Structure 1
């Protein structure tokens, strides 16, 4: 047998080593076609077009796009607020909306499947890019795109790559081995990227569904917040022109009978409602319902908060201002007295015609009243001087078997006399036929302080130290009642007993809300949502009990339409008759008559409180708003921004929840993946066939490799193409040949495998 040509073998091995160090060279037929024209490849265009719907969805949500009352008919299928067939309209809209929502779910699923194609392309092209920089490429990387959606598969792949890198470290540890061209961390990063993309692709369906399906939401329109509450004018007598038909001259001279045109019948209605609800309570055990009173366009009713001892009275000035909002709703929706709405004041009123339902809202002051009434033989009066006295009222029940006595200071000689006031009027008896009529004299005392005493032993010898009693801190049991308060005294010549009532008033703020539909809210009743309803116990937010109000006694005269000069109420009025009867029942049998008399007294006090006006100040600069926020933080019971707005319900897009925010983030990441895929596609480094050739060139399986007889080194494979590598004679080497087609080729690439070394 001929001696082997060792020089030729060495030359061949040297040539092969140089080829190994340089890596596989692109061959004619395998060299990828480059250039911007690759952008228009159908496989790239299909993925790139995913950006269109994704971008549209994001724009709709970030712009808070409003659709309207129906998903397929916008404003022309709105719920007519003046129609009695609103239920049928809602059912018809609901049916069409369900169809559209179902179709949008199919759209979301289609976008998810579409993105899976893009994500698979991204993983495959990334593997192709990595193949250029690794001298031993795991062929399994080229198949990740087919199974990367399975996290368990990625776990197995990571373990295989770990074994592959360990094997490579063993092989490259030889002194003459070429250094690796890529760090092992790159392959781990590749697996991490694949895992992250797996998570994004699996969440893409939920993300697109969250963003592509609009929500039925309440949004606020016609927002005005440029006015702040300044002062409630409760400590002063009625003045100005805030009551229609009452001139400033009438009020300043005490001619409060001018209020009778609007408010005499209103008080009659309140008191008759008190009688009616008390009778229903006695007959059926029914709830005691508050009475309703009208002011301009709205109806008003007291609010019973969670603190059931306090009744919150609406303020009529808020109702008068609120009526302009209601009138604007009618103008915008074509209702009663419809005209062109003023879009400069109410810029978003067109939304009323797109909404399923609407609600008008305002923030305004509310006055809370706390008190009760008792039947008592008569007050104990201690005259300390001509201009100073102490008035004490007993039988104030703390519990069923414990009473205290309330004492107030009266007279011009006291230091705080300037803050005190009183008023008196007579309710004549047109009911009783007895020789001694039950004309009721009503006297109201407003004093800046009071004391509630358990021990009255000093009353007998008149040895009470009143200066000390009133200078000492108030009883811890009655801290909120010991400041400014009112004492009402009802007495008559027809009996030797007196009915007296204790009352404390508080300031807070409420959201006045009105459903403007005349079908669902025919009375235009305003609901009061009191923002803070515990001024008596909330010492943290009601510092120094600043929310405790001083109610001037003349407000009671204005409520009863009684002049300060003669102080008579028309005895033929329904309120007068009901009051006389309730008074007689109470003094004859307190256990039976207590409820009705308390309701009548409370409703008359609510009427007085509702008349009290307030002043405002503008918030025109950022400094004004900053100072207002500080006031509200320091004492929210006495400071508030008088905001007005409307709330409408309609279908809209928007990033208004955490889930939608997460969906937007996932969708944006998906867009980045699409753009990255397009860039890598345009700059694709090699054809798929070349990747396979590179893998075969470098990765003969260990244990199956033939070895050189002389050196013991494993034989390597060389590749040649039709127009590729030739032997010395210019003819193709042909010890072993084979043909194949690359993953992206057309059958033109012909692969020749030649053993080098000794045979």
Structure 2
């Protein structure tokens, strides 16, 4: 058998065409270790240290440690949710979109310019992400090499199958290589010490983990280094708390009413002369009605408050079969709308460079300035909202009774009443309400009228409409008009109760009303609109319960995306706390004086007269015209929107927010920012933190173990220099068993600084 020789004639390997492993005994017995000329040091016999110089070691570990700087910075930016601004590239924190420019093409040009800059920056950051990934891969490879060399230097050595792990550990395909999983010594093998087995198993687990981390590091750093366009919530501002509504008392100019009743003084409000507010509330109601008619019945007709517009909203309940059973309409608070209008005006001044000293609240200017550096701004305020379940129905003389109990107490009853909007199966009731302060001091009533309209075709003036508004503490619903057992029918009759008739009113006005009408049985409001001619009279009746709740108001401040400055209400419930409502608020909504007469030429009054004359012609007709419904509903919504509320500086520590909710404002900003806004960002955080631990371990081991780095060539040459022995004599000729054979590395000072030994 021929042998391979070096240029100096030294024997290295037996010459064979077989690819299987060969026993070391096949080498010539004459081949002695002293005769071999090691290739590694064949040209030099000078002594050298196997340890790396301390300065070089510190420098290399410093470069590894330096990887933590950008990673920790990225972790900080993401944990802090650092906001960059309207662009991903925003030097100085100022990227002006010019949101309120009257020439919207300039705003659009700014948006396009920022978008182009974003693409350029994000492309560059992708390269940064790749650089961080490669950097970490080098550090991880160094760690695997150090651990491999440390284990190989142990007396028990390391399986030959793991000799190339420092070079192959990051290859995902290597996880499917059987050698990785079969080179470890079997648990039941008694020739290998338990501590050695544990070290090998931990080594394999470490390399597998580092393989996963190294391959995830690229996506992880990309997630962390690339900012995203996202909506963020700014901090809440405001230390005042909601105290109460002023609904139980008539409007007064001392509160927010002065905002919409700017032409009125306190004496006019005290005497109930609300026509002084006609310049404000009159057009507001008329415009709302006009908007409804112009939109052909669209329920989202808009109303205006200063610089913003709004529409009432609604929710509904559905029965088990999916049919809508009851609508809940929500009237936004004009007081909150006025605050949002101020917010919008402040935003306008911030964007256009206005002088903050000329503003009403200059101290708040800076808080709005932070909103300017964004692509879109949604101003938000928490505040009260009033809901109602209105019922509109027609009546006539035969189905209405008014019973006089005494001078301070009356009972008004209306027959053929179905409580729910679209559920005829909800029952037929006689609805009775208590009116007069003799029942409860909160029970009040007020009235006004609308003058008849002149008809040019007949040259006559039509009948007018008398409007009476009642607030009642209690309402009772008699199913199919049936009286409770033992209750005399004489107790509910037109006029006075006959003498000698005993009436136990507690039998009717019970707290436990039928479920279909329970939410309409307390704090009830009734608006009677009566029209009369020489033959008969007819009623259009609106009854409702007002209840308070709280919601979040949102205004998109950009004229580009919200040219109408429309305010939206969010997270509306379907219930609330019933409110006492003074009838004077209804008069204020109509701009009517107590017992006054409204002109017939206003939009609202002229339409009301037309509807009432139609009802008078056919009082028994079902309400099918949506105009009738919304002509009755919109004045109610207008009434509820006017009701103002008081705020207090009470501390939340002395009164919980449940009792006195905190009224706050903030904004949602569409900005480029870092943050944990997705599941992938959490994965990036975990991978990055794990990478930091890997780097720290590598730096520590690199400083402790300063052995020179040995290339694959050096390891191969050292293996070839290993003198033949009988290590593979009893090993089956297959890769699995051969890979389990252990090798041991010995590091020396001198010409032959690396020795490779195979052992069983």
Scaled by the length of structure 1, what TM-score is found?
0.77
Residue pair 1:122, 1:677 contacting (<8 A) in 2 also: yes
Q: For residues 260 and 595 of structure 1, do their structure 2 counterparts lie closer, same or farther at Cα, with a shift above 3 Å needed?
A: same
Counterpart residue number, 1:84: 104
Superposed, 1:15-94 pairs within 5 Å as 29=47, 31-33=49-51, 36-40=54-58, 44=61, 47-73=64-90, 75-76=94-95, 78=97, 80-82=99-101, 83-85=103-105, 86-94=107-115
SS for the counterpart of 1:478 is helix
SS in 1 for 2:663: coil
CA–CA separation in structure 2 for the residues paired with 1:688 and 1:226: 65
Aligned to 1:23: none
CA contact (8 A) 2:350 2:365 kept: no
CA contact (8 A) 1:222 1:349 kept: no
Deviations 1:716-745 (A, max 9, x none): x99999998xxxxxxxxxxxxxxxxxxxxx
Structure 2 unaligned segments of length 5 or more: list them. Answer: 1-44, 318-325, 493-503, 731-742
Conserved? CA contact 1:425–1:443, under 8 Å: yes
> Counterparts in 2 of 1:378-397, with a 5 A limit?
378=397, 379-397=400-418
Select which of 175, 180, 187 maps to 2:200.
187
> Distance in 1 between the 2:226 and 2:748 partners?
57
**Structure 1 residue 410 corresponds to structure 2 residue 435:** yes
Shift of 1:216: 0.3
The reply on whether 1:609 has 2:640 as its aligned counterpart is yes
1:323 paired residue among 341, 347, 370: 341
Unaligned runs of 5+ in 1: 1-26, 173-179, 282-287, 536-541, 632-638, 706-716, 725-747, 755-759
Shift of 1:481: 0.5
- CA drift at 1:329: 0.3
1:573 pairs with 2:602: yes
Question: What's the CA shift for 1:629?
Answer: 4.0
Match of 1:554 among 584, 609, 612: 584
Other structure's SS at 1:444 match: strand
User: Which residue number in structure 1 is paired with residue 701 of structure 2?
Assistant: 680
- Equivalent position of 1:455 in the other structure: 480
Q: Residue 334 of structure 1: CA displacement?
A: 0.7
- Tell me the equivalent position of 1:297: 307
1:641 matched residue in structure 2: 662
Q: Equivalent residue for 1:482?
A: 521
Alpha-carbon contact 1:431-1:580 (below 8 Å) kept: no
The Cα offsets for residues 625-676 of structure 1, whole Å up to 9 and x where unpaired, read as xx42454xxxxxxx53212112221111123444323312211221222232
Quick check: 1:202 aligned with 2:221? no
- CA, structure 1 residues 686+587, in 2 after alignment: closer, same or farther (shift >3 Å)? same
Partner of 1:534: 574
Alignment partner of 1:156 is 2:179: yes
Change (3 A) 1:166 1:343: farther
Aligned to 1:126: 147
Look up the match of 2:290: 272
Aligned 8 A contact 1:406 1:452 in 2: yes
Distance 1:450 1:700, change over 3 A: farther
Which of 351, 354, 364 is the matching residue for 1:345? 364
Is the partner of 2:656 in helix, strand or coil? helix
| Residue equivalent to 1:445 | 470
Match of 1:254, SS state, is coil
Q: Partners of 2:225 and 2:550 in 1: how far apart?
A: 40
Classify 1:317/1:697 alpha carbon distance in 2 versus 1 (closer, same or farther; 3 Å): same
CA drift at 1:406 = 0.8
Of residues 392, 400, 410, the one that matches 1:373 is 392
1:226 equivalent in structure 2:
239
DSSP 3-state at the match of 2:428: strand
Q: Is the 8 A contact 1:451 1:475 kept in 2?
A: no
1:419–1:698 Cα change, 3 Å: farther
User: C-alpha deviations, 1:331-363, integer Å up to 9, x for none?
Assistant: 110178887876742434333332111111111
Q: Is the 8 A contact 1:446 1:553 kept in 2?
A: yes
1:221–1:348 contact (8 Å) kept in structure 2: no
The 1:694/1:619 distance shift into structure 2, 3 A limit, reads farther
In structure 2, the partner of 1:235 is 248
Report the alpha carbon displacement of residue 312 of structure 1 after superposing the two structures with TM.
Answer: 1.1
Aligned residues: 651
- Alpha-carbon shift at residue 691 of structure 1 (Å): 8.5
Structure 1 distance, partners of 2:163, 2:724, is: 14
Q: Distance in 2 between matches of 1:318 and 1:508?
A: 13
The residue aligned with 2:281 is: 263
Could you tell me how far apart the structure 2 residues matched to 1:480 and 1:224 are?
A: 36
Contact 1:68/1:652 (CA < 8 Å) preserved in 2? yes
Q: 1:376 to 1:592 in 2, by over 3 A?
A: closer
Report the CA distance shift for 1:701/1:154 in structure 2 as closer, same or farther (over 3 A). farther
Q: Deviations over 1:588-621 (max 9, x none)?
A: 2444774222211211112211111111222546
1:532 offset after TM fit, Å? 3.4
Query: Aligned equivalents of 1:520 and 1:718: distance in 2?
Result: 72
| Shift in alpha-carbon separation, 1:695–1:440, aligned structure 2, 3 A | farther
Could you say what the CA RMSD is over the residues aligned between the two structures, in angstroms? 3.6
Is 1:356–1:650's contact at 8 Å kept on the other side of the alignment?
yes
Mapped contact 1:409–1:447 kept (Cα < 8 A): yes
Q: CA deviation at 1:89?
A: 4.2
Name the counterpart of 1:518. 559
**Distance in 2 (alpha carbons) for counterparts of 1:460 and 1:375:** 27
Residue in 2 that maps onto 1:508: 549
